[in-house]
Structure 1
Amino acid sequence: MKLIVIDPGHGGADPGAMFKNYQEKNFNFAIARMIRDRLVSKYDVEVIMTRETDKNVDLKSRTDLANVIKADFFLSIHHNAAGGSGFESYIFNGSIPSETVQLQANIHDKLASTVLQKYSIRNRGKKRADFHVLRETKMSALLLEVLFIDNEADLKLMTNPTFLMEMATGIADATATALNLPVAPVPTEGLFKVIVGSFSKMENAEEQLKILIQKGFNAFIATATITNSTVYRVQAGAFKEKENAEALAVSLNKAGFETFILYEGSVPDPPEEPPEPDKGYKIEGKTVLTTEQMDSYVRSINPNAPLLGALYASYSQRYGIRGDVAFAQAIHETNFFRFTGDVRPEQNNFAGIGATGGGTRGATFSSPATGVLAHIQHLYAYSSTASLPKGDEKADPRFGLVKRGSATTWQALNGKWAVPGTNYGQLVLTQYKKMVQNSLISLNMEREKLQNTLNTIDI
């Protein structure tokens, strides 16, 4: 396996080039981390960074690190200044192997024909210079000057998160091609992905990504299709170990970002002794109340409540879940859709998914339909061990975090859906009982009305 050292130029007390309120070191660090993440996620390669935080590392320490660990390639990321525009690359202007010249040509030309061409960026050419990191490294070394921080047109691109992603991806892929890096094998185990927002509009995801980068977090935008709609997820990391994902989520939360962890993949559970059957009212079963009865009940308490009965009836039928009890659970979680807790109405999160208290708002869904589907899928994760219905995408971001089949009754959700929640299931069923009683009263009134009508018919 080849070893690459990526060197984000400057850092700490050394800001590099400056313009307005922007500092070169931050752009170098952001792109360097994106390149690192792209390489290690797609290719079979090891990557070491000369700095992992905003600290000052002298030039000798950077090259000494690469030499001691016997890296195969050294890539230094910088941004330019002093009245120009465009992209250029550098190798040492002294004696170097032909391999280094070829690596520069391959990487530079690939970027020129893709990212530079797409964004109409000036190609300043392949150059040579007596820079320390190029002279003192014992392996092939390349320094990239991505753009000019003091050029307004270049700066506009540098603050565009989509461009940053494409440039970093382009550099990583061009480097992988030049070094003949093999594609990484598909992991057999799942990943815990840290999501910092899920949006129905690309521009909203890009704005979130921009803020993340400005605060020193690396991220990118991934797309998914849920209920025939495209959602744009801002992903800040992916880990094999849940603890690492949780640690990043804590850092993001402290920085003011709301996050949730999405598990993708499947890890076979070790064989276990068959558990004792859950006691109580089954989560799986037929929906008894009609759409009109569900909506009528919630509107009798909150006249402005959304009409979601049809969505709960439809999705619950597909998953074999008692949709009217799920509707009662949504009423319990949202206080009759008045959202008086941490979750906000615009999140379309009717089940409190990911809202763990202390101001954590939990997951956000692009539409009411996706929010209801995620709720039903979360119940399905608890009540069943079967796969999702054929053709259905995973809408519930915490589906993979649930131990499948661990709660087949509403009472068994105690301490699982809500913590401590020692009587959580009973509270949901109490609300459901009120819904049924309300429907019975309405039916009795209707029956009495019909009976009176029947008694007045004179034939």
Structure 2
Amino acid sequence: MIFKENHKINTKARIIFIFLCAFTFLMNSSSIFAQKKYVIVIDAGHGGKDPGNVGNGYKEKDIALKVALVVGRKLAKNKDIKVLYTRSKDVFIDLWKRGDVANQAKADLFISIHCDSHTTNAYGAGTFVLGLRGNKKNLEIAKRENAVILLEDNYRDKYKGFDPNSAESVIGLSLLQEDNLDKSLAIASLIRNNFAFKLKRNDRNVKQDNFQVLRETIMPSVLVELGFLTNKKEGRYLNSKKGQDQMGNAIIDAVLNYLGNLKLNTVTNIGVEAKEVKTIEYKIQIASGKNKIATKSYNFKGLKQVERIPVGNFYKYYYGNTTDYNDVTKSLKIAKSKGYSSAFIVAYKNGEKISIQKAIKMQ
């Protein structure tokens, strides 16, 4: 009996000891690994002296603001998210200032919320990302934003290897811009799917266009058209609290899903040097578009082993997968000789896109 009591005491002691060890590890882990805080800028379209469209007497500026606040307030309850607004009340904000808010905050995502109008009885929700026509302006803004680095103290130490005036850095910005487009398409597709399949709104698909407000941002960004105020039924729905809550929650769910995918690959390591597997792959992007094309050589001017990767509603086509940079430069020459004059090299580390410059340094 005494043995059994002692055994119970020892067992309890071990359990308590294990619990304390686990608790101590969890407490210490917060100082080892810190989850990135994601900055999201919510932009309610129009405002103040600019009412936006006023189909059927409804004001776009009011509906956009109410939905923006639904989205922002709920997202802000997540400890990993910091929410900023371009406007949180009925005021007029210049388009360039909206992008500037996001750029200055180094935001991870920019969402601009609007309502549509049309001379017909059109209806349905749409999502838009920056079209190709806006890329040049967007790149110039990115270069201008990065040039501020030169004004910082000790910028040579803090940004070793980066020169905003160098050709390599401009190439790096171009690659970043492409990565931003991929992520913009990803969040736009998630929002579109929630509108179309969860709320059963008429599906207008993800589109690319040259919106000024998107051109002013240098991070993943999406413009959301909640629906048409010029359609009586849809305008009435969007002007209702139920409609605003449902559309807002669809956007929230998409953002959390998008961030969840990012978090799988984004943990900031503090004070601990983890061993990284540095598997670098190079390939040539030869084409991209909405059409799903069979990766047969006859579809790609004789190029063999073409790879097709879905990105939102788009597909990207790659050629010449290799771990050797010298080999990929040869593949680039072959692709261009076949007529793919705009083909370019991309690099991946463990499946995640990185700059060519960084890939070469790692090797």
Which TM class, normalised by the smaller chain length? 0.3 to 0.5
Structure with bigger helix share is 2
Structure with bigger strand share is 2
Q: TM-score, normalised by structure 2?
A: 0.47
- Structure having greater relative contact order (Cα 8 Å, sep ≥ 6): 2
